[in-house]
Amino acid sequence: MVHSRGWPTTEEDGCTFCEKLVTPRQRDLVLDNPIHNRMEYLGSAHNLGLMTWRCLAKGVGMKRQLTAILSGDGFHRPTSSQAADRRRDPMRPKRLRCLYLACALVIILPTLAAGQSTSTSMPRIGVLAWAPCEEYWLVDISSPFMRGLGELGYKPGETVTIECRSAGRRYEGLAAAAADLARLPLDVVVGDSEPVAHALREATATIPIVAVISGDPVGGGLARSLAKPGGNLTGVTYYATELTAKRLELLKELLPDVTTVGVLANPNVSYMPFEEDTKRAAGRLGITTRIHQVNEPADLKSAFSRMKAEGAQAVFILPDLMFASEASRIADLALEHGLPTMAWGGWFTETGCLMAYSSDYGTMTHRLAFYVDRILKGAKPGDLPIEQAATFSLSINLKTAAALGVEVPQSILMLADKVIE
């Protein structure tokens, strides 16, 4: 029989209920493993202890005995006849197992909660990387994100543990890497792109996620609103419908006679709004766009050849992880085909593309450290507003402009935040 509040009311039901609360792994973890291996299960084990205590107190009737044992007062020794009756009781082994477990939990957990210092007591931060972890910029010790953690008092390996998993520069690798992270006892997981955010949301609904979101967080289903995202995700977004239009306007200002633009897009991220934003903005500016879908680095060369054959006068590069990692190759192909480029990240101009306009990724990933700190201190991600980037920068490569025979007007130079000579 079970009480209306969910607790058993008979001794037999109480012990059975107690055993169902505890998986074999959890029981072994509490009773057999060293203390330092129990730390990462403290939260779940604590709840387990409370439930077991209540179960024993209400269902098995051992509250006074347990309290006496734990307080050191002892308890009344049974008479010989009472002891004999208990030894014959078929429920005795189950009661003893419940008693041992409850004692172990109640004795051990307060000690752990008091703050015993062990290696696994450090917060654990997961990172889902597009590139191999050993070369991924987000986990580099000098990266803006890691610098931000340092400014907040976190030292990787000393006060915080970083767990990185890589997609291997493959979109199909994101789900597996995210699932691998979701199986770890992490306190928070971090990503620097919207595809990464989507993969993490698919993998876990409980681990807090902090990410840079390139598209619309609300329209993309990642948040209920920017002010109160709800769920387990928050972070920074730089999306605005006007951003794509601004890039095209700058390209038009640089090349006043441009009428046809080839667009590099990746079908793996077709759920993001950039293609439609580009078409609308181009229509208002009197520019014809020809969108070329490319999802493999090997197909970039043929895409540039087609754009040149179709009469494209410039190339407009839409946000995409594969394009970002192939920035140097894109720059070389653009020069080879004599095509000016407008991209969405400053690293494109550093590798030889002509122009780029975007919010600064370094600033945004540095800000992610603030969110991680808030979550590690108890804040819920769903209560932390998603911030919108407020500043954007234009970078231009004058060396590339000279190689393409493009004269950069003074109005563009005055707007540029970074000029590569």
Could you tell me the residue range of the domain that residue 146 belongs to?
Answer: 122-238+363-388
CA-wise closest residue to 209 among 320, 375, 43, 387: 375
Q: Are 401 and 330 in contact (CB under 8 A)?
A: no
Assess if residue 3 is contained within a domain.
Answer: no
Terminal Cα distance for the chain, rounded: 82
pLDDT less than 70: residues of the chain:
1-120
Assess if residue 5 is contained within a domain.
Answer: no
Whether residue 348 sits in one domain with residue 283? yes
SS3 per-residue string spanning the chain: CECCCCCECCHHHHHHHHHHHCCHHHHHHHHCCCHHHHHHHHHHHHHHHHHHHHHHHHHHCCHHHHHHHHHCCCCCCCCHHHHHHHHHCCCHHHHHHHHHHHHHHHHHHHHHHCCCCCHHHCCEEEEEECCCHHHCHHHCCCCHHHHHHHHCCCCECCCEEEEEEECCCCHHHHHHHHHHHHCCCCCEEEECCHHHHHHHHHHCCCCCEEEEECCCCCCCCCCCCCCCCCCCEEEEECCCHHHHHHHHHHHHHHCCCCCEEEEEECHHHCCCCHHHHHHHHHHHHCCEEEEEECCCHHHHHHHHHHHHHCCCCEEEECCCHHHHHCHHHHHHHHHHCCCCEEECCHHHHHCCCCEEEECCHHHHHHHHHHHHHHHHCCCCHHHCCCEECCCCEEEEEHHHHHHHCCCCCHHHHHHCCEEEC
Q: Which of 54, 85, 113 is the last residue of a domain?
A: 113
What pLDDT does residue 135 have? Answer: 86
CB-based burial, 299-318: b 16+ in 10 Å, e otherwise:
ebeebbeebbeeebbbbbbb
Q: Are 408 and 254 in contact (CB under 8 A)?
A: yes
Please give the share of the chain, as a percent, with pLDDT higher than 70. 71
What pLDDT does residue 66 have? Answer: 44
Sign of the Cα torsion 307, 403, 266, 296 reads positive
What pLDDT does residue 215 have? Answer: 87
Whether residue 72 sits in one domain with residue 179? no
Whether residue 331 sits in one domain with residue 289? yes
What pLDDT does residue 8 have? Answer: 46
Tokens, residue 299: 């197909």
Whether residue 310 sits in one domain with residue 198? no
Whether residue 320 sits in one domain with residue 398? yes
Whether residue 147 sits in one domain with residue 19? no
Assess if residue 128 is contained within a domain.
Answer: yes
What pLDDT does residue 121 have? Answer: 76
Whether residue 368 sits in one domain with residue 342? no
Assess if residue 1 is contained within a domain.
Answer: no
Whether residue 324 sits in one domain with residue 265? yes
Neighbours of 164 (CB within 10 A): 18
Task: Give the number of domains in the chain.
Answer: 3
What pLDDT does residue 38 have? Answer: 34
Whether residue 295 sits in one domain with residue 221? no
Q: Are 223 and 388 in contact (CB under 8 A)?
A: no
Provide the edge-to-edge strand list for the sheet that holds 355-358: 288-293, 260-265, 314-317, 341-343, 355-358, 393-397, 418-420
Whether residue 396 sits in one domain with residue 283? yes
CATH code, 301: 3.40.50.2300
Assess if residue 2 is contained within a domain.
Answer: no
Whether residue 24 sits in one domain with residue 143? no
Whether residue 300 sits in one domain with residue 341? yes
